[in-house]
Amino acid sequence: MDKNAISVPRVVPRKIKEKYAVQSPRLVTTDEFLAPGHRACIGCGEALAVRLACKALGANVIIVTATGCIEIISSQLPWTSWRVPWIHTLFENTAAVASGIEAGLKTMIRKGKRPDKDVKIAVMAGDGGTSDIGIQALSGALERGHDFLYLCFDNEAYMNTGIQRSSATPFGASTTTAPAGKKSIGQTTWKKNMPAIAAAHDIPYVATACPSYPFDLMDKVAKGIATKGPAYIHILSVCPTGWRSATDLTIRIGSLAVETGIFPLYEIEDGKYKLSIDFPKLRPVNDYLKLQGRFRHLAEETLNEIQHRVEEEYAKLMAKVALTKGLNE
């Protein structure tokens, strides 16, 4: 038997709040805006997430990308994987570039310098480009209320430069700049809660997503891009290279992140929290952790600590859901 096989039966979600209408493949566009032939690693969850997000964004969009995996796999002079207008400038400034694009388009339309056609703007950045080096530009753009959708593809470390820790790296993970050793468990800090930081800007739409739930992801991207004002979606993107996991388990590991409560799927619409998938019982976190080499070194004691923290965070989220239940109704 495969050592990675899951022995526990899968928990059936009580309620998947997906639009079943879009589950028919015929209703998902066969157009590919991220062309095949890019340079992503085998089993890359991020490339898959970008591809799905692009389907939901459609053709009428300008994409602004930060330096990082997405940029490196999809662009190399003189080629490109992009079938929509795409710009990359630097690492930390994507939200600011998007601000300028939005302001430029709006003003030019108002002054009759461009046809009056609503062009959407989407930002794509990694967890480093979002929660570390790009957080200032992002916070500024969210506060100013520019009309754009920010997509953070979170693979939980600086994967493009070789698996260095970021503020989004989970507790206990071994990375090249926070390696597990005789005196260290690896990452000693808890993952920065980036969706909560985005939500603290009181923007109209915040969500979490994962390509293991493709229709949920596409729904949220469609909703985010249609939102007037800033929207933020945090997308967990499994990285077999950095997580040291089997390349054929990308979808399964993404599902387990959700099923264990480590990465719950939810939306915050105008301040109202909604769980996208509500499980009657969360799976033990070890079901998720044991499939990844980056957690291989963890002792039972640390696993328990993680389990405890995940339950606590999940309870906090449920409390927010309960607290905002009647909001906007």
Which positions lie near other proteins, rule CB under 8 A?
A: 59-62, 64, 71-72, 75-80, 82-90, 92-93, 95-108, 110-111, 113-114, 119, 136-137, 139-141, 143-144
Q: In angstroms, what is the minimal distance from the CB of 138 to other proteins? A: 10
DSSP string, 58-107: -SSEEEEE-TTHHHHHHEETTEE-BSS-EEE--SS-HHHHHHHHHHHHHH
The Cα–Cα gap between 22 and 167 comes to 35
Q: How far is CA 245 from the centre of its chain?
A: 18
**Least CB distance to other proteins at residue 231 (A):** 18
Give dist(CA 15, CA 214) in Å, integer: 16
Tokens 């805006």 correspond to 33
d(CA 20, CA 77): 41
Here the tokens at position 216 are: 């949920």
Work out whether the CA dihedral 86, 88, 94, 99 comes out positive or negative.
negative
Q: State the nearest-atom distance from the C-beta of 96 to other proteins, in Å.
A: 4
Pairing of strands 149-154, 231-236: parallel
Question: In DSSP terms, which residues pair with 209 in a beta bridge?
Answer: 235
From the list 294, 285, 289, 239, the residue with the least C-alpha distance to 259 is: 285
User: Residue 85 or 181: which CB sits closer to other proteins?
Assistant: 85
Closer CB to other proteins, 59 or 299, in the complex: 59
Q: Smallest distance from the beta carbon of 86 to other proteins, in angstroms?
A: 5
Of residues 95 and 262, the one with the C-beta less far from other proteins: 95
Whether the CB-CB separation of 284 and 309 falls below 8 Å is answered with no
State the minimum distance, in angstroms, from the CB of residue 162 to other proteins.
Answer: 17
| Shortest CB 124 distance to other proteins, Å | 13
Q: How far apart are CA 255 and CA 252, in angstroms?
A: 5
Q: How far is the CB of 76 from other proteins (least distance, A)?
A: 6
What tokens appear for 181 in the block? 């050793």
**Quick one: 23 or 136, whose CB is closer to other proteins?**
136
| Choice between 136 and 188, CB closer to other proteins | 136
- Minimum gap (Å) between residue 38 Cβ and other proteins: 12
CA atoms in the 13 A half-sphere facing the CB of 125: 31
Q: In the complex, what is the shortest distance from the CB of residue 64 to other proteins, in angstroms, rounded to a whole number?
A: 7
Pairing mode of beta strands 79-80, 75-76: antiparallel
CA distances for 165 relative to 102, 178, 206, 239, 316, angstroms = 32, 6, 25, 14, 26
Beta carbon nearer to other proteins, 121 or 173: 121
**Closer to other proteins by Cβ: residue 8 or 103:** 103
- Positive or negative, the CA dihedral 313, 314, 319, 321 is positive
